[in-house]
Structure 1
Amino acid sequence: MTQTPILTTEGLEKRFGGVVAARDISVALHAGETVAVIGSNGAGKTTFVNMVTGYLKPSAGKISFRGRDITGMSPRDTARAGIRRSFQISQTFPELTALENAMIAEIAALETKGSLSSHAITDARMHAARGVLARFGLEKFADTRVATLPQGVKKQLDIAMAAVDDPAVILLDEPTSGVSVDEKISMMESVITPLMNGEGTVLFIEHDMDIVSRFASRTIAFYEGTILADGPTEEVLRNDEVRKYVIGGTAHA
């Protein structure tokens, strides 16, 4: 019996005037998958993520989540539906502590579910926020101001905040960008492991093929705004066109 996809895109396209940033993007993601998206700068990777999460309205095509048409839905409504994301540049509050940031994410999750009240800041929510930090190995930074944290830790915190309330789909935009080579593997392990322990689907944009090989069971390669290859990671990374047009241009990005 074939598993029903949790998220699908059909013929997705995005035009900016006369420039086509993405075209004919048809993807089916299943629950529990960990998928890497690769491609050189300008290949359409982030445009795709922005359309799925509501930050860009598609020029054509359809996006379905759990069988529901969510094409053109706002970022707030996609988050409410169960699709979350992190950004290439961490979206945290630098003057607050890591715990305070996690607390804000907890309250925002209540708001997306329509259950935010004047009693949102409670001992229970504080306990939940500490639990989020612990899940991602960040508890030792709970009382540290975010502005003083290393870049890799800021990235972890940003992803931990996006993962509050266990979204069905989480999309990570270049989670290791700005992180030193020595820290990339450990940083990704601390992020992907807790996400994979849930039942959610993880899709991450990545330029480092070592990270892709290690953490993604499936890889989607973008080239000039469309999908060049989609399949098991080892097969995609061996694909002649992917090696010619994608890996050669992104190995050191």
Structure 2
Amino acid sequence: MSGELEIINLAKVFGGLVAINDVSLKLEPGSLSAVIGPNGAGKTTLFNMVTGHLRPTRGSILLDGEELVGLSPRTIVKRGIVRGFQVASLFGTFTVEEAMAAAVHAHRDRLFDFMGTFPDPDSLERARHVMSLTGLAAKGARRCDSLSHGDRKLLDIALALAIDPRVLLLDEPTAGMGRDESRAMIDRIHHLWEHERMTLVFIEHDMDIVFSIAQTVFVLRSGALLAKGSPAEVRAHPRVIEAYLGSAA
């Protein structure tokens, strides 16, 4: 499976605005990492380049040593990098089980194969396996548009997980959640990572969450990599304290 993601001297310039400035980082296979930084630091822009939705101005993005820059988003998904978007709404009239099976079916290039049964047994088996892992099995018959906010976010992650990613990117998976709901979501994500052992990297503003589960933390500021290291190292880094965490960190 592997899943080593290496970003080398990556930059993105929009006109005169430098959104990402010479960023290099490496995610080891099976690692769990977080990307943090103030609003406007370039976190989502970085994810957009890794997934092919933005083309870098310069630099390289390697998955297991193979260049991704210039590939389409669909091809990058096929290579094994999947991003959790807020896409559950696309399956509003589907049941949870149907949405999951459709995601697997589409990844296997069979979405428009109407000659056989939908969902086919293999797709359904994978869908039910991931539903069990994510705690959605009991809600398989529910329509996607009837789910709570937290369950929609969980379905979004499950849809990404259903297609066997080598690298899973999550952009603020706890956004819009209360404290207890956020804690439950991050515990579920940690469980999924422990079970599947894909390379997982997430953007998050809640520092308690970041420091409780991430093995490595990357800190962006004004598009540049300010610091990287273990949670303890980042928490104690003087420049990080000054720029982001505050003197009380």
Q: Distance in 1 between matches of 2:224 and 2:174?
A: 23
Helix, strand or coil at the partner of 2:243 = helix
Superposition deviation, residue 189 in structure 1: 1.1
Helix, strand or coil at the partner of 1:61 = strand
Helix, strand or coil at the partner of 1:246 = helix
1:105-138: CA deviation from partner (whole Å, max 9, x where unpaired):
1112212xx8985436213322321221111111
Q: Which residue among 100, 121, 144 is the counterpart of 1:146?
A: 144
Compare 27-36 and 181-190 and name the one that shifted more. Answer: 181-190
Helix, strand or coil at the partner of 2:205 = coil
Percent identity over paired residues:
38
Matches within 5 A, 1:122-141: 122-141=120-139
Q: Distance in 2 between matches of 1:91 and 1:5?
A: 25
Q: Distance in 2 between matches of 1:5 and 1:14?
A: 24
- In structure 2, stretches of 5+ residues that fail to align are none
Residue in structure 2 matched with residue 223 of structure 1 by the alignment = 221
Residue in structure 1 matched with residue 119 of structure 2 by the alignment = 121
Q: Cα distance 1:246–1:108, how it changes in 2: closer, same or farther (>3 A)?
A: farther
Q: Distance in 1 between matches of 2:123 and 2:70?
A: 32
Matches within 5 A, 1:37-186: 37-87=35-85, 89-92=86-89, 93-111=91-109, 117=113, 118-119=115-116, 121-186=119-184
- In structure 1, stretches of 5+ residues that fail to align are none
For normalisation by structure 2, the TM-score amounts to: 0.91
Superposition deviation, residue 197 in structure 1: 1.8
Superposition deviation, residue 5 in structure 1: 7.7
Q: Cα distance 1:170–1:5, how it changes in 2: closer, same or farther (>3 A)?
A: closer
Structure 2 residue 16 is the aligned partner of structure 1 residue 18: yes
Contact kept? 1:110, 1:116, Cα under 8 Å: no
Helix, strand or coil at the partner of 2:170 = strand
Contact kept? 2:3, 2:198, Cα under 8 Å: no
Count of residue pairs the alignment pairs up: 244
Structure 2 residue 234 is the aligned partner of structure 1 residue 236: yes
Root-mean-square deviation (CA), in Å? 2.1
1:1-33: CA deviation from partner (whole Å, max 9, x where unpaired):
xxx981111110011111111111101111010
Contact kept? 2:98, 2:119, Cα under 8 Å: no
Superposition deviation, residue 191 in structure 1: 2.2
Helix, strand or coil at the partner of 1:197 = helix
Superposition deviation, residue 168 in structure 1: 0.8
1:68-123: CA deviation from partner (whole Å, max 9, x where unpaired):
11112111011000110112x34442222211111111112212xx8985436213
Q: Distance in 1 between matches of 2:214 and 2:112?
A: 36
Compare 203-212 and 121-130 and name the one that shifted more. Answer: 121-130
2:185 is aligned with what amino acid? M
Q: Distance in 2 between matches of 1:78 and 1:202?
A: 16
For normalisation by structure 1, the TM-score amounts to: 0.90
Contact kept? 2:13, 2:19, Cα under 8 Å: yes
Q: Distance in 1 between matches of 2:40 and 2:88?
A: 22
2:4 is aligned with what amino acid? I
